[in-house]
Amino acid sequence: MDQPNIEEIVKQVLNEMAGGSAAASKGSSAVGGAIPATAHVAFLTSLKHFDIKEYPIPPLGDGDILVKVEGCGVCGTDAHEYSRDPFGLIPVALGHEGTGTIVAMGKDVKKDSAGKDLHVGDKVVTCMIFHDDPEITVYDLNRQNVGDSDVYGLLPDDDVHLNGWFSDYLFVRKGSTIFNVSDMDLDSRILIEPAAVLIHAVERAKSTGILRFASRVCVQGCGPIGLLCIAVLRTMGVNNIVAVDGNPDRLNFARRLGADETVNFADHPGGIEELAGAVKAAFGGHLADFGFQCTGNPKAHSNIYKFIRNGGGLCELGFFVNGGEAVINPHFDMCSKEITLVGSWVYTLRDYVNTFEFLKRAKAIGLPVTELITHKYPLEQINEALEMNLSQKGLKIAVMANGN
């Protein structure tokens, strides 16, 4: 027997001893013969550098799921971790805006976190991983946001390694939340996670009692988060929206997603009073009833109070990480104006379910939400994808699995 045949036999025997793949795990269902023994994972091994690593696919437990990745959006959080490692996770498998197809699952997996049936072949997204209460479902969780839980793509590395969506397979462990979204197209599924941030923010804004159909609403910052904010507001029936940004292309896209007027702060070098006057003029001589602050710039937070009327409201959602301190005058900016301020940070499980309906409705009324995805890169070019995100030359950047 020649040497190449011996090597192939040894590989096969070792694969079978290790369980072969998730499909070979006891009590699991799987796509026959479609699962390799190993998966490729983009690992952030140092600042501004991913390496593509190959790891064995572990055998599935009774409550585990193996997902073949189709694509994953690049989040600002990924860019922060890539450039600064603020969470101290390196080395880490990133990617939390992902989606893919179930190729194998343990015998105890029957339904998703909203009670919908799950089968091999279904398209899915993940949300949170609960350790303290793995029995919690979408129907129980209305107020606790994701901040108290773990998320795939922001997990410390372990012996599984397949922990982020920047990979060709994701190993979903028992106790995770997962949703069947087979009725949505791929680009819409990639946008679920960031859109959920805005569904949550708008729900927080509604809790003030100020945001209504007839409200004049200012959205400051027209990156992907601000643009999605505009789309959510328009889909819900808010018809008087002014977008503020310094990028003409983003402001033009803001109009396509539902902004009635736009203000380019670069056209108003005279300071905050001049800029506030431009916002007021865009509203026909009125200040905003409500504002959404969607940038991570402390100066932007200081400015937005000047755009809001007495008795108005503000939702601050731009600071997922520490972006520094903002300077305001509590008397003029908050107290004398009686501004109602709410903070918003990521989302809850129920927000995820609402997000599915938002994306379907936005598509139905003709909002070009999926055109937010302006650049797609294969997994092997993930470093280029992150650099494109940092350059702000596009909107939403996505890393795609082979064939997508």
Q: Which range (79-83, 111-115, 268-272, 348-352) has the least confidence?
A: 348-352
Residue 376 DSSP class: E
On the 0-12 / 13-18 / 19+ scale of CB atoms within 10 A, 372 is buried
Q: Stretch 13-29: mean pLDDT, rounded?
A: 48
Contact 395, 253 (CB under 8 A): yes
Alpha-carbon distances, residue 113 vs 96, 156, 375, 394 (angstroms): 17, 24, 31, 33
What residues does CATH 3.40.50.720 cover in the chain?
Answer: 195-343
Q: Cβ atoms within 10 A of the Cβ of 6, count?
A: 10
Nearest to 208 by CA among 128, 106, 315, 110: 315
Residues of the chain with CATH 3.90.180.10: 19-183+371-400
* Whole-number Å distance between alpha carbons of 327 and 107: 55
pLDDT tens figures, 141-192: 445 565 567 899 999 999 999 999 999 999 999 988 999 999 999 999 999 9
pLDDT tens, position by position, 329-348: 999 999 999 999 999 988 88
Closest to 218 in 3D by CA, of 163, 300, 273 = 300
DSSP string across 158-188:
-SS---SSSBSEEEEPTTEEEEE-TTS-HHH
Across the chain, what does the average pLDDT equal?
90
Q: Is it true that domain 19-183+371-400 has CATH number 3.90.180.10?
A: yes
Say if domain 195-343 classifies as CATH 3.40.50.720. Answer: yes
pTM of the model: 0.89
Cβ atoms within 10 Å of 164's Cβ, excluding its own: 26
Contact between residue 174 and residue 62 where contact means Cβ atoms under 8 Å apart:
yes
